Amino acid sequence: MTVPKAQKARAAALRAELERHNTLYYVKDAPEITDAEYDRLFRELQDIESRFPELATADSPTRRVGATPLAQFTEVTHRTPMLSISNAFDAEEVRVFDRRVRESLEVDAVDYAAEPKFDGLAVSLTYREGILVQGATRGDGNTGEDITANLRTVRPIPLKIASTYEILEVRGEVLMYRRDFDHLNARQRQSGEKEYVNPRNAAAGAVRQLDSRVTAGRRLRFFAYAIAHSSAWRWKTQSETLERLEALGFPVCPERDVVRGVAGLLGFYERIGRSRERLAYAIDGVVYKVNRLDWQRSLGFVSRAPRFALAHKYPAEEQLTEVLAIDVQVGRTGALTPVARLKPVFVGGVTVTNATLHNEDELRRKDVRVGDTVVVRRAGDVIPEVVTVRLERRLPQARAFHMPKKCPACGSAVVRNEDEAIARCSGGLVCPAQRKQALLHFAGRRALNIEGLGERLVDQLVDKDLVRSPSDLFGLSISQLQDLERMGEKSAANLIAELKRSRQTTLERLIYALGIRNVGESTARDLARHFGDLEPLLRATQEELLEVPDVGPVVARSIRQFLDEAHNRGVIRLLVAAGVTWPKGARAAPRAAAQAKSFVLTGTLAGMTREEARAAIEAKGHKVAGSVSKKTDFVVAGEDAGSKLEKARSLGVPVIDAKRLLELLKEL
Phi and psi at residue 252, to the nearest 5°: -130, 140
Burial label, 59 (beta-carbon count in 10 A; 0-12, 13-18, 19+): middle
Do residues 506 and 533 touch, judged by C-beta distance below 8 A?
no
Determine the Cα angle at 594 with ends 588 and 596, to 5°: 55
Q: Is 117 a catalytic site residue? A: yes
Chain-centroid distance, C-alpha 398: 40
Q: Is 60 strand, coil or helix?
A: coil
How far is residue 430's CA from residue 566's CA, in Å, rounded to a whole number?
A: 10
Do residues 500 and 478 touch, judged by C-beta distance below 8 A?
no
Determine the Cα angle at 190 with ends 185 and 192, to 5°: 90
The active-site residue out of 117, 313, 644, 647 is: 117
Do residues 374 and 368 touch, judged by C-beta distance below 8 A?
yes
Cβ count near 213 (within 10 Å): 15
How far is residue 457's CA from residue 461's CA, in Å, rounded to a whole number?
A: 6
- Which of 361, 336, 359 shows the shortest CA–CA distance to 427? 336
CB under 8 Å to 429, separation ≥6 — which residues? 438, 469, 470, 514, 515, 567, 568, 571
Phi and psi at residue 133, to the nearest 5°: -115, -20
**Quick one: CA dihedral 599, 601, 605, 611, positive or negative?**
positive
Do residues 415 and 423 touch, judged by C-beta distance below 8 A?
yes
Q: Where are the alpha helices (DSSP H) in 161-237?
A: 178-190, 199-207, 212-216
Q: Given the DSSP bridges, would you call strands 655-656 and 634-637 parallel, antiparallel or unpaired? A: parallel
CB under 8 Å to 483, separation ≥6 — which residues? none
Q: Within 13 A of 307's CA, how many CA atoms are on the CB side?
A: 18
* Backbone conformation region of residue 460, classed left if phi is above 0, alpha if psi is from -120 to 50, else beta: alpha
Residues designated catalytic:
117
